[in-house]
Amino acid sequence: MAAQESPPPFAAAAAATRASGDMASPPSPGEGGQSHTSERNPEKIQDQLAASSSSSAAAAKKRKSSETTTAGSTTLASRPLPPRYPPYPTLPPGTRPTRKYLDSVLDWAKERRRIAKLSKKDIPTLRDLPMDPITADAVVTSQDKAMVLRVARSVVSVSSTMPGPVPKKRKSNETTTAGSTTLASRPLPLRYPPYPTLPPGTRPTSTKYLDPVLDRKYLDSVLEWAKERRRIAKLSKKDIPTLRDDPITADAVVTSQDKAMVLRVARSVVSVSSTMPDGGGLISRCTGVVIGWDGANKRAKILTAASVVCDFNGELHNPALKLSVSMPNNTTTEGRLLFYNVHYGIALLEVMGDYKLEVPSFGSGTNYGQVIFALGRGENMSLMVSHGTISWTDYPVLLRNHNMFLSCDIPEGGSGGPVVDHDGNMIGIAFEENPGPVVISIKTIMTCMEMWDQFSRVARPLLGMQLKSVELLDVSIQEELCRDYNITSGFIVSQVLVDSTAEKLGIRRGDVIVFQDIDCSTLSQLEDHLLSLGWGYLKGMHLTVDLKVEVHNLFDSYRESITFPVQFTDASKQVTS
């Protein structure tokens, strides 16, 4: 098993920012000046301070008045490092949180807010929320945004005011014979107890805090009622299809055509669970999909979520964990882990047996606004389906620029399940992430599978940046970027890793970067292009790939073209046992 590098942390300990350079250092001995320890003239120092202050103010005024700055005066490499967030408090291994630890977490959050407030700048690329949520919801697709921006060139603002102060802006089972069992002989169902009531004319004194005498007794009776109701419900629960209630699936698959399509795809959908060795407890349960079937050797490859085998850092839940795969025909077999990649969140298993398994048809990939179905398997192998679209938004988390968000929740235990279009073509697999469910394109997945088949490794790019697409911004921010900065495309830098290549080159949060030799406008397109460059790395042709990038610095209103060396990592985990 090859070792995998953990994703670099988002923030290190707070470090001091670079010196501003406005105050000149005292001359050292031998340079025509006095030594550091010599006596200084107070009047001379005041003159120097005044001259330094006036020159700094003049320089700042000149920078503000100019639209762009040449690389000779201000460059990306000369920009100061951003303030560092403090590291999150950690507990010693094997210990539980204490009051002191919780206080340190609160202090950490307070310091983080303080630093965030200091570094806050009012530029369009750093606004966390749309300026107008109504506009953001009204104009979603790229076509609509282009149309609105075109019309906006003719729209002006007209206002009239009265004298006075300016107001502030507001922000059927098989039949049985009548002799054995009849309907009339069936026992009555269990009855739930009545809900507790208060004596006439009395009620709880408060909706939040109950009276310690009467209301405490009443509250205890309500809790006992709820406990008894749960006990009876559990006793009377029968696992038959007619008593299952899954409103999400019922609303998701309505037409006969959609039901036939979903049932066809379901022949490839399995349930995967991991348990501790020697009959231990359940670790995780996910959904999987058959992506390869060797009928001659009775072997199948199952694609599922990496979370069923490893944690967020890529470490196995247990080196001897047991994998069980439940087939569509309700038979269960043991699975063998082949490899997994924690960055893309995928794991590949192998099962053997005489099964009639089908491989779904594959689509070309995912598109924003595309109508989808997300399939999953429940705890009892029941089929669950969600219906929605791929949202016209990107909210990259943990440097996973390849993720695309879904407008619908995925079924419980549905991570690793297939996402299909209306024709039943598999276009990706879904994961449960924070802040919402995401899908990774089948194009990205198949590239990873092909790399692993040929090299037993996956070479992925390391940008060291978290990006957002200008194309998917709120239309009001798009207009501001175009009007004030002449930016119509590219990617916004929402985060830069500490000590990364991007940071060393002078790229900062809030910048807009444009890849000059790459024709892509969304993060998924960019990820697929950069991932394809990994073939050369695996073949030993190169260690890095140089990309020409134009960086727009909105803070100082200038742009600069640089060469960005993209590095690769092949830190996937292959299981050889």
Domain with residue 520: its CATH number is: 2.30.42.10
Domain for residue 120, yes or no? no
Residue pair 507/496 in contact by the 8 Å Cβ criterion: yes
Same structural domain for residues 224 and 251?
A: no
Burial 240-277 (b: 16+ CB within 10 A, else e): eeeeeeeebbeebbeeeebeebbeebbbbbbbbbbbee
Same structural domain for residues 222 and 292?
A: no
CB atoms within 10 A of CB 331: 10
Same structural domain for residues 445 and 467?
A: no
Domain termination site, one of 430, 456, 482: 456
Same structural domain for residues 227 and 352?
A: no
Distance CA 510, CA 347 (A): 34
User: How distant, in Å, are the alpha carbons of 75, 362, 566 from that of 78?
Assistant: 5, 48, 21
Domain for residue 358, yes or no? yes
Between strands 573-574 and 558-569, the pairing is unpaired
Same structural domain for residues 395 and 255?
A: yes
The stretches of 332-491 forming alpha helices (DSSP H) are 442-455, 475-485
Q: Write the CB contacts of 404 (distance below 8 Å, at least 6 apart in sequence).
A: 366, 368, 390, 391, 394, 428, 438, 439, 440, 441, 524
Domain for residue 318, yes or no? yes
Enter the pTM of the model.
0.66
Domain termination site, one of 456, 490, 507: 456
DSSP state of 242: G
User: How distant, in Å, are the alpha carbons of 39, 47, 48, 216, 549 from that of 44?
Assistant: 12, 5, 6, 79, 47
Domain for residue 109, yes or no? no
Domain for residue 73, yes or no? no
Burial 134-151 (b: 16+ CB within 10 A, else e): eebeebbebeebeebbee
Same structural domain for residues 424 and 561?
A: no
Half-sphere exposure of 45 (CA within 13 A, CB side): 6
Alpha-carbon torsion, ordered 550, 552, 557, 562, to 10 deg: -40
Domain for residue 564, yes or no? yes
Alpha-carbon torsion, ordered 52, 54, 58, 59, to 10 deg: 10
Distance CA 308, CA 330 (A): 20
Average pLDDT, 10 consecutive residues per value, the chain (577 residues): 41 36 39 41 49 48 44 75 85 79 88 78 67 67 83 75 53 52 81 81 54 69 85 70 59 82 94 88 94 90 95 88 92 94 94 88 91 90 90 74 88 92 95 87 94 92 91 90 93 92 94 91 91 93 92 92 93 57
At 467, is the secondary structure helix, strand, or coil?
A: strand
Domain for residue 177, yes or no? no
Q: Of 261, 285, 381, 290, whose CA–CA distance to 330 is shortest?
A: 381
At 337, is the secondary structure helix, strand, or coil?
A: strand
Q: Write the CB contacts of 567 (distance below 8 Å, at least 6 apart in sequence).
A: 461, 462, 501, 543, 544
Domain for residue 4, yes or no? no
Distance CA 458, CA 466 (A): 20
The stretches of 393-461 forming alpha helices (DSSP H) are 442-455
At 306, is the secondary structure helix, strand, or coil?
A: helix
User: How distant, in Å, are the alpha carbons of 265, 462, 504, 522 from that of 497?
Assistant: 41, 10, 10, 21
Same structural domain for residues 412 and 273?
A: yes
Residue pair 49/56 in contact by the 8 Å Cβ criterion: no
pLDDT (0 to 100) of residue 47: 55
**C-alpha angle 531-537-542 in degrees, rounded to nearest 5:** 125
Counting the structural domains of the chain, the total is: 3
Residue pair 565/545 in contact by the 8 Å Cβ criterion: yes
Same structural domain for residues 221 and 353?
A: no
Range of the domain at 569: 459-574
Same structural domain for residues 522 and 442?
A: no
Distance CA 413, CA 222 (A): 32
Domain termination site, one of 205, 233, 261: 233
Q: Write the CB contacts of 386 (distance below 8 Å, at least 6 apart in sequence).
A: 248, 249, 252, 373, 374, 376, 406, 408, 409, 410, 411, 414
What is the DSSP code string of 125-183?
GG-SS-S-HHHHHH--SHHHHHHHHHHHTT--------SSPPPPP--------TTT--G
Same structural domain for residues 281 and 377?
A: yes
Same structural domain for residues 427 and 465?
A: no
Same structural domain for residues 250 and 380?
A: yes
- Residue 242's domain is classified under what CATH number? 2.40.10.120
Tokens for 10, please give them.
């988002």
Tokens for 324, please give them.
């069980």
